[in-house]
A and B are shown apart, each in its own frame.
Chain A
């Protein structure tokens, strides 16, 4: 009987059977780690210097985070980086995409130039730009000196505001190519006939851009923004390699604080709590975007 059922399953059983592997996989690589993370965030899991008892502490870690100045500093840095670099990368990326969409004779050199910053590992980009912004050996100061823009070399990475600027500029450089790639695909989907019709009606280039390009590109822009925002909230590599969060902790992001708490301080419980907070932040932002998409769709 049971055997019969498996050999000739009803539609419902078949659906369950076919979906099971995917469910199992997701449970294993998504649900379990996140569940474990949330579970750990309720424990005192200090590997060094703790009681060693790994005790259940309830919401204590969350209360600690609430009054932790380092946490709020890192959270506000992360949000600020997101607010600056996401729109920044969108504007630069859109410009690059429109450039690449021009009718070049050879398309591949433009496309390659677009791909390169994206293909470069984040930490490489961070290290390269750290040298660019170095006070004495840096390219940026050298150019400014040659142009007589400064009498004293600027200590880019040692002044909180300049360090922040340098990091944001690097992130925009690094991520706008990804934006451009997605937007370029969107641009190529816009039918030429729309522009021709607008031309006939006497619309200016500027009007064409705002009335045709931007609305038609909206779905691509939203997708690109979601991806970019989530990765911006997780910013780690570039500030870590450029300033290590310095000077002091002026450029420390949430991901860096989590890394420091778990790997350097070996405080797994509190690190998990911070990670849950970051997860919640990402969830809030993503659900905001998703609701917007729902509305536009």
Chain B
């Protein structure tokens, strides 16, 4: 009897320890998934699917930070403190090099099989996510700056899609003169000192066929060309095509004013398309066209590429599980889901031509070319400084507190120390 009870006890203990084990295998992953523009609602749906397939994983989601800079500041604080609370986080395309340099993210080579894993992705995303031969993060979804325009207004005045900045200014002028609406802007760009102003600085410069940096990250700024680029915007301000207080215009301001029907042409990110098409207060439903950005005469159209990447925190206590989830989120099926449900641009070429995707979002067919032709903003481990120097100076030039030549010289002297 005594022996039996001992055996029973042993069995109970064993099964208890097994139960304990299954509890130990239960992993909770905490994910920082950006702000509302990064569609945490859709990410949650993907996480729910993943939880169903992997019952031992529980995923908590954390959101915050309306802009890329605010998210960067939040993550800097958390990661600088080596906080293990966040396992996975979503970062802007400009950040993998900086985060790897700071030792904040876990290189994924061991989990995904090295840089070869980046083959299916568009080149610009493969480039941004492989830093010093290491896979720093995996692409979540793409974004790029597009030229949105009012189809109805262009038709009304018999204007074709402008191919150069001069044509665009002339087209805007024609529409503004014809409409006689003092609140109608010809073109809306972002001039406030936000991340978008980095693109505002680079777009006309790139469209002259110039590069800001070489493959190794060394700055190759052509100062004259960059000053000329800013002059293109200032000339449009003088012509009344761009509004005078452009240095106050943020990304949401462009979206809201275009939605209100006060803008003929607008440069903005891909996410804006859904806002124009779906938002209840949009006055321009069904009247919006999208096209590649104009260039200078004799130059070539270029756009600013954005987009978001999944990274595993270097301080995570469940790195293998986190890496597995990141692979799932970067897979073609997840990409397709985000494209169909939220018109988030895929980072994988094959998804653009997927039948379900082209049916749900027909404009992706053309968008693919814009994204492929897109350029990445300077890749630097000190991107915080690069971005700050460009955006504050570009904004000051547009506010006319600095001349283009002065401003460009300032960017040059600041960044020649940072990007060498």
Q: What is the interface of chain A, defined by CB distance below 8 A to chain B?
A: 47-49, 134-136, 153, 155, 157-160, 244-250, 260, 263-266, 268
Contacts A49-B382, A157-B248, A247-B247 given; indicate if A266 touches B102 (C-beta within 8 A).
Answer: yes
Contacts of B393 in A (CB 8 A): 248
Is B244 close to A, CB under 8 A? yes
Contacts of A48 in B (CB 8 A): 98, 101-102, 381-384
Q: Identify A249's interface contact among B243, B384, B392, B418, CB under 8 A.
A: B392
| A111 CA / B77 CA spacing, docked (Å) | 39
Is B36 close to A, CB under 8 A? no
B296 to chain A, nearest CB (A): 26
Interface string of B54-97 (1 = CB under 8 A from A): 00000000000000010011001100100000000000000000
Known: A49-B380, A157-B248, A158-B399. 6 other contacts (CB 8 A): A47-B80, A49-B101, A155-B244, A158-B245, A246-B392, A248-B396
With both beta carbons as reference points, the residue of chain B lying nearest to A243 in the complex is identified as B193
- Across the interface, do A136 and B396 meet the contact criterion of CB distance under 8 Å? no
- Across the interface, do B248 and A135 meet the contact criterion of CB distance under 8 Å? yes
Q: Identify B247's interface contact among A153, A158, A265, A266, CB under 8 A.
A: A158
- Across the interface, do A247 and B98 meet the contact criterion of CB distance under 8 Å? no
Contacts of B388 in A (CB 8 A): 260, 264-265
| A135 CA / B393 CA spacing, docked (Å) | 20
Contacts of A266 in B (CB 8 A): 76, 80, 98, 102, 382, 384
Contacts of A250 in B (CB 8 A): 401
With both beta carbons as reference points, the residue of chain A lying nearest to B98 in the complex is identified as A48
Contacts of A49 in B (CB 8 A): 98, 101, 380-382, 418
- Across the interface, do A247 and B102 meet the contact criterion of CB distance under 8 Å? no
Size band of the interface chain B makes with A: 20 to 34
Contacts A247-B401, A264-B384 given; indicate if A47 touches B102 (C-beta within 8 A).
Answer: yes
| A247 CA / B243 CA spacing, docked (Å) | 17
- Across the interface, do A247 and B396 meet the contact criterion of CB distance under 8 Å? yes
Q: Identify B401's interface contact among A47, A153, A248, CB under 8 A.
A: A248
Q: Which of B377-420 contact A (CB under 8 A)?
A: 380-385, 388, 392-393, 395-396, 399, 401-402, 418
| A274 CA / B109 CA spacing, docked (Å) | 39
With both beta carbons as reference points, the residue of chain A lying nearest to B410 in the complex is identified as A248
Contacts of B402 in A (CB 8 A): 248
| A265 CA / B76 CA spacing, docked (Å) | 10
Contacts of A268 in B (CB 8 A): 80
- Across the interface, do B72 and A264 meet the contact criterion of CB distance under 8 Å? yes
- Across the interface, do A47 and B101 meet the contact criterion of CB distance under 8 Å? yes
Contacts of A249 in B (CB 8 A): 392
With both beta carbons as reference points, the residue of chain A lying nearest to B217 in the complex is identified as A49
- Across the interface, do B73 and A263 meet the contact criterion of CB distance under 8 Å? yes
Contacts of A135 in B (CB 8 A): 244-245, 248
Contacts of A263 in B (CB 8 A): 73, 76-77
- Across the interface, do A265 and B384 meet the contact criterion of CB distance under 8 Å? yes
With both beta carbons as reference points, the residue of chain A lying nearest to B246 in the complex is identified as A158
Question: Counting chain B CB atoms within 10 Å of each CB, which of A134, A135, A153 scores highest?
Answer: A135
| A121 CA / B148 CA spacing, docked (Å) | 38
Contacts of B396 in A (CB 8 A): 246-248
| A2 CA / B98 CA spacing, docked (Å) | 58
Q: Identify A248's interface contact among B80, B102, B245, B392, CB under 8 A.
A: B392
Q: Identify B248's interface contact among A134, A160, A248, A260, CB under 8 A.
A: A134
With both beta carbons as reference points, the residue of chain B lying nearest to A268 in the complex is identified as B80
B255 to chain A, nearest CB (A): 15
- Across the interface, do B248 and A265 meet the contact criterion of CB distance under 8 Å? no
Question: Counting chain B CB atoms within 10 Å of each CB, which of A48, A135, A260 scores highest?
Answer: A48
- Across the interface, do A247 and B384 meet the contact criterion of CB distance under 8 Å? no
| Cβ-closest 10 pairs across A and B | A248-B396, A49-B382, A135-B245, A49-B381, A247-B399, A264-B384, A158-B399, A47-B102, A48-B101, A247-B401
Contacts of B395 in A (CB 8 A): 246-248
Contacts A47-B101, A247-B399 given; indicate if A158 touches B248 (C-beta within 8 A).
Answer: yes
Q: Identify A160's interface contact among B77, B193, B401, CB under 8 A.
A: B401
Q: Identify A244's interface contact among B103, B193, B383, CB under 8 A.
A: B193
Contacts A157-B248, A158-B247 given; indicate if A246 touches B399 (C-beta within 8 A).
Answer: yes
- Across the interface, do A136 and B245 meet the contact criterion of CB distance under 8 Å? yes
| A268 CA / B76 CA spacing, docked (Å) | 12
| A91 CA / B251 CA spacing, docked (Å) | 40
| A49 CA / B247 CA spacing, docked (Å) | 30
- Across the interface, do B73 and A264 meet the contact criterion of CB distance under 8 Å? yes
| A245 CA / B247 CA spacing, docked (Å) | 13
| A47 CA / B101 CA spacing, docked (Å) | 7
A278 to chain B, nearest CB (A): 19
Question: Counting chain A CB atoms within 10 Å of each CB, which of B77, B103, B245 scores highest?
Answer: B245
| A158 CA / B383 CA spacing, docked (Å) | 25
B242 to chain A, nearest CB (A): 13
Contacts of A136 in B (CB 8 A): 243, 245
| A249 CA / B414 CA spacing, docked (Å) | 14
B405 to chain A, nearest CB (A): 15
Contacts A155-B244, A244-B193 given; indicate if A265 touches B401 (C-beta within 8 A).
Answer: no
